[in-house]
């Protein structure tokens, strides 16, 4: 299958490497074209660089927006017309830096990033928050864990889960566990109880229901 990845920084490049290693075909786009080109060259034949963000979605089954939260809305607006048929996956955590360089949450307490992003999307866009639940280093070192794969938690609008997102998570070398709807996304972000956890399925499921 083909996935567009927009944003080839820390987490976008880690996701791209793991998906390509699992056999996914990638269409990459980034504000810095050189970073997308370098990543595609390092990955090899499985990755191509798109002309721009919108054309990255052409023929793609899913698009991963590996972007800082502060630029997400602008890029969603830019690609909105191409989104209706494409599953959108967002790894972004709603954090930024304050004037003193301290990491701060960009949304008010109690407001989930999943609900905010869902409100920016054209109606009916299949949408999930996934792939941002671990630091890029932990994500790559935990991929294809043996003997039991580690879990990657996600949230999706569809209460039955998302076949596309579960395909991507498995392709990247993890076992998918949906924790609920997009209103649950705070549990996955930097300060959430399910962030940076490397656990197997049984422990993951007890953590999801035990909260």
Ligand X SMILES: NC(=O)c1ccc[n+]([C@@H]2O[C@H](COP(=O)([O-])OP(=O)(O)OC[C@H]3O[C@@H](n4cnc5c(N)ncnc54)[C@H](OP(=O)(O)O)[C@@H]3O)[C@@H](O)[C@H]2O)c1
Stretch that binds ligand X, among 99-107, 116-124, 128-136, 146-154 (CB under 6 A): 128-136
CB of 78 to ligand X, least distance (A): 7
Which CB atom, from 92 or from 125, has the smaller least distance to ligand X?
A: 92
Nearest-CB residue for ligand X? 9
Is 66 among the residues that bind ligand X (CB under 6 A)? yes
Is 126 among the residues that bind ligand X (CB under 6 A)? no
Is 16 among the residues that bind ligand X (CB under 6 A)? no
CB of 62 to ligand X, least distance (A): 16
CB of 75 to ligand X, least distance (A): 5
Contacts (CB under 6 A) with ligand X, residues 72-91: 75, 91
For the chain, state the CA radius of gyration.
16
Task: Determine which residue in the list 37, 38, 68, 73 makes contact with ligand X, applying CB under 6 A.
Answer: 68
For residues 158 and 144, give the distance between their C-alpha atoms in angstroms, rounded to a whole number. 27
Task: Determine which residue in the list 89, 136, 155, 169 makes contact with ligand X, applying CB under 6 A.
Answer: 136
Over the chain, what HEC string results? CEEEEECCCHHHHHHHHHHHHCCCEEEEECCCHHHHHHHHHHHCCCEEECCCHHHHCCCCCEEEECCCHHHHHHHHHHHHHHCCCCEEEECCCCEEECCCCCEEECCCCCCCHHHHHHHHCCCCCCEEECCCCCCHHHHHHHCCCCCCCCEEEEEECCCCCCHHHHHHHHHCCCEEEEEECHHHHHHCCCCCCCCCCCCCHHHHHHHHHHC
Stretch that binds ligand X, among 18-26, 39-47, 129-137, 179-187 (CB under 6 A): 129-137
Is 55 among the residues that bind ligand X (CB under 6 A)? no
Q: Which residues bind ligand X (CB under 6 A)?
A: 6-12, 29-32, 35, 53, 66-69, 71, 75, 91-93, 95, 132, 135-136
């Amino acid at each position: 299958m083909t996935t567009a990845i927009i944003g080839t920084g820390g987490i976008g490049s880690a996701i791209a490497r793991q998906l390509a290693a699992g056999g996914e075909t990638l269409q990459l786009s980034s504000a810095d074209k050189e970073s997308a080109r370098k990543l595609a060259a390092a990955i090899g034949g499985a990755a191509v660089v798109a002309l721009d963000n919108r054309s990255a979605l052409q023929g793609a089954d899913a698009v991963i927006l590996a972007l800082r939260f502060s630029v997400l809305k602008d890029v969603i607006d830019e690609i909105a017309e191409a989104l209706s048929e494409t599953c959108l996956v967002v790894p972004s955590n709603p954090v930024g830096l304050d004037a003193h360089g301290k990491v701060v949450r960009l949304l008010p307490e109690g407001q989930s990033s999943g609900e905010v992003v869902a409100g920016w999307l054209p109606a009916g866009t299949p949408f999930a928050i996934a792939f941002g639940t671990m630091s890029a280093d932990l994500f790559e070192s935990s991929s294809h864990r043996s003997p039991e794969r580690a879990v990657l938690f996600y949230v999706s609008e569809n209460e039955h889960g998302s076949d596309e997102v579960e395909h991507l998570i498995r392709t990247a070398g993890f076992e998918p566990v949906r924790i609920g709807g997009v209103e649950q996304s705070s549990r996955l972000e930097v300060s959430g109880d399910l962030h940076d956890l490397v656990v197997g399925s049984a422990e993951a499921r007890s953590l999801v229901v035990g909260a």
